[in-house]
Structure 1
Amino acid sequence: MSDAPLEIFLQAPPGLEQLLADEAREKGFVDPVTVPGGVTTRGGWDEVWRANLVLRGAGRVTVGIGGFMAFHLAQLDKRSRKFPWQEILHPGEAVRVEAVCRRSKIYHAGAAKQRIEAALTDFGARIVGPGNEDEEETAEAPLTLRVRIEDNAVAFSIDSSGAPLHRRGTKQFVGKAPMRETLAALMLRACGYRGDQPVYDPMCGSGTFVLEAAAIASGQPAGAARSFAFERLASFDAQRYAALRDNLPAPVSTELRFAGSDRDAGAVAGATANAERAGLAENVTFRHAAVSDARPPEGPPGLVMVNPPYGGRIGNKKLLYALHGALGETLRREFRGWRVGIVTSEPGLARATGLPLKAWGPPIPHGGLRITLFTAPPLG
């Protein structure tokens, strides 16, 4: 397997690229640089594997595998057939091709895609049509080859992750309007959370914020319980990958307590089951309670992190103002010394809490909405 440096792209929600770059730097990745929609770094295939395993904020890990110049379709066809696909793919592998063209003499993305698919077919790959971004990860899920033709330069990259990385491999119950684990991890980071404080969520749903916080505190690798698309590439070395996994820092025990509550008893049961599957039940507790009955876990103050309902997402907006007011009142009364992070699409709902909240950064695309993280310093 070649150890030549590869360009590695770590996908992040627009507006949160710097947070992911900071995480990548802390985890020892080389010179992470923010670009629109993510972070670039460089390294061998070992670093590709490690990025999928340990980065909690990356949505996908895409790898640049090479390219060439092409000024017309015949040239694209010829050079695609000469490309060393055998270094990346096994014959018979299912592959989906996505292509974009910008400022190039080859301007028709569909025609370019057909030429590259023909080259892959000639190599022996099985071409698969368009799929669902969130398709389940199965043995039949195709590898995704992305082709970018810009200024007549053809660049190939391969998605090394497969199923999106927010799928940690342990969560079965998902509540209403869930937040992806990768976004939750970045939101926690934006609040200054580094695994050294307890976290409480009074509207926990399936427990995403609480479970991510507990996993960070224990040092649990994000992808330890799942498989990845890179395991099907020709560049994959199973023994080397096993050694990499064995050399990752072992999770540590923590005395911190992580907790959540929700008025939906089914959500509480589902979140509890999620904690057990993730191996976090020893330090995580979920209970059935209304917002007004929220109480902090035993121990020092920490971070209240909550993704409450908002108007474009769930329910009657007038009722939501009352709910946010009750949330603010409870936090002021019961959570003195705790910092607060609230995610919402509507600044008016954040103001309705009566807490000293300030917007952190710009609105972030999420589920067809634009959401903002609001934070407050320790409550007096």
Structure 2
Amino acid sequence: MSSLSKLPIFFVCPPGLEDVLCVEARECGWSDANAVPGGVEIEGDWSDVWRANLNLRGATRVLVRIGSFMAFHPAQLDKRARKFPWGEFLRPDVPVRVNSVSKKSKIYHAGAAKQRIERAISEELGAPIAADAEVTVYVRIEDNRVTLSIDSSGETLHKRGHKSAVGKAPMRETLAALFLRSCGYDGTQPIYDPMCGSGTFVIEAAEMALGLQAGRARSFAFEKLATFDPQLFANETRDGSNAIDIMFHGSDRNAGAIESATANAERAGVGAVTAFHQAAVSDIQRPDGSPGLVIVNPPYGARIGDKKQLFGLYGAMGRRLKEEFRGWRVGIITSDSDLARATGLPGLENGPPIPHGGLKVRLFQAGPL
């Protein structure tokens, strides 16, 4: 396939945040980006696939649709899968795994369909099939149409490659980036997280401000595909970062969390513009400089500890924010609107429910205080 051929490319994100990711995709140069349930669609070539994995902060993975055909019974699926030009996309020396789903189709057994696709790949291309393969082919059968996609990312894109230490109930980097954008964060304001844990919000905000590529420190599944060109890919990677004169702050009552956050920031290359210190939420102090955004992912009760105790915690945080952080905006992620209201922050507005760690959470925004 020519490198100029356009393919449908799908950026996956949590339901409820498609419009936020769509704005990011358009800012990255994909003017035709279109928000659809579960993510964002574009048309592009393989360099767009590489660039999306490297640069998009909100996408969980990047899927590439490589073809489709109709199949009404297993023998037809078998025949058409064997005729498919697997060698244009997959390498015979790289293991592959296959995931399949079937809806409203005569081929209703997804497991049997998976086996036929696996056999076509192994016998026609010669590629080994392995359950732990980095390269995944997705097979979706709906209304008797078989759609084939490749996951170009491999490990989910929240794994930036520089965080080794995480605390309880961590916020994924991709979700943190989308919540920051939802708060109107554009990289020009300071950030403060008073319950910073392993530092995800602070580090993500600093990387956004510095203009660092999200995937600069990791590898991707697309590097194992037949379509990969290392020299062209090198043109998509960049060294260096923007010069900024703002700081990004985090605090936590747990000394271990502060150690982890500091180490994670150093590994991410943002140690010079981040500062973490130990403090209870009732003792937090506004950093020097202009107002910015306080963003926090406090415990929800459904996950850590007893909910009754949390009303006091949220109340203490709200009082301290109103006393200390005049002019700052606030974003609170929680699964419980009663807890959000317990902060007493004025004019709280809540966003759509977002799946996170088996719960539905919302972003509550207030301010400027």
- Calculate the TM-score normalised by the size of structure 2: 0.97
1:27 alignment counterpart? 28
Unaligned runs of 5+ in 1: 132-140
Opposite residue 323 of structure 2, the aligned amino acid is R
Identify the residue that residue 290 of structure 1 maps to in structure 2. 280
Flag structure 2 segments of 5+ consecutive residues without an equivalent. Answer: none
1:132-190 CA-to-partner distances (Å, cap 9, x unmatched) read xxxxxxxxx43110001122221100000000000111111101100000000000111
Q: Which residue of 2 aligns with 1:185?
A: 177
Q: Secondary structure at the match of 2:80?
A: helix
* Separation of aligned partners in 2, 1:230 and 1:262: 38
1:235 corresponds to 2:247: no
Which residue number corresponds to residue 135 of structure 1?
Answer: none
CA distance in 1, matches of 2:347, 2:21: 23
Contact 1:198 1:301 in 2 (8 A): yes
Separation in 2 of the partners of 1:359 and 1:176? 27
Post-superposition shift, 1:105? Answer: 2.1
Q: Shift of the alpha carbon at 1:101?
A: 1.5
1:31-89 CA-to-partner distances (Å, cap 9, x unmatched) read 11111111111100000000000000000000001122222111111111111111111
Aligned residue for 1:282, secondary structure, equals: helix
Amino acid aligned to 1:69: M
Spell out, residue by residue over 1:264-289, the C-alpha distance to the aligned partner (whole angstroms, 9 max, x if none).
00000000000100110111000011
Partner of 1:40: 41
Structure 2 residue aligned with 1:258, among 248, 269, 285? 248
What's the CA shift for 1:102?
1.9
Equivalent residue, structure 2, for 1:136? none
| Deviation for aligned residue 1:357 | 4.6
2:73 aligns with 72
Per-residue CA distance 1:302-359 (angstroms, 9 max, x = gap) = 0000001111011111211111111011101110100000000111111111102533
* Inter-partner Cα distance in structure 2 for 1:360 and 1:329: 19
Q: How far, CA to CA, are the matches of 1:90 and 1:217 in structure 2? A: 38
> What is the SS of the residue equivalent to 1:362?
coil
Is the partner of 2:3 in helix, strand or coil?
Answer: coil
CA contact (8 A) 1:30 1:43 kept: no
Residue 58 (structure 2) aligns with: 57
Residue type matched to 2:77 in 1?
L
Partner residue of 1:169 out of 161, 166, 182: 161
Asked if 1 retains the 8 angstrom alpha-carbon contact of 2:89 and 2:226, the reply is yes
Tell me what 2:12 maps to.
11
State the SS of the aligned residue for 1:127. coil
1:361 corresponding residue in structure 2: 351
Runs of 4+ in 1 over 4 A off after TM superposition: none
1:201 aligns with 2:193: yes
The SS at the match of 1:286 is strand
Aligned Cα root-mean-square deviation (Å): 1.2
Give the CA deviation at 1:361: 2.2
2:266 equivalent in structure 1 = 276
Structure 1 match to 2:85: 84
Q: Counterpart amino acid of 2:241?
A: P
CA distance in 2, matches of 1:30, 1:91: 35
Contact 2:349 2:366 in 1 (8 A): no
Tell me how far 1:92 sits from its aligned partner. 2.8
Query: How does the TM-score come out when normalised to structure 1?
Result: 0.94
Deviations 1:92-148 (A, max 9, x none): 32111111112222222111111111101102111123x6xxxxxxxxx43110001
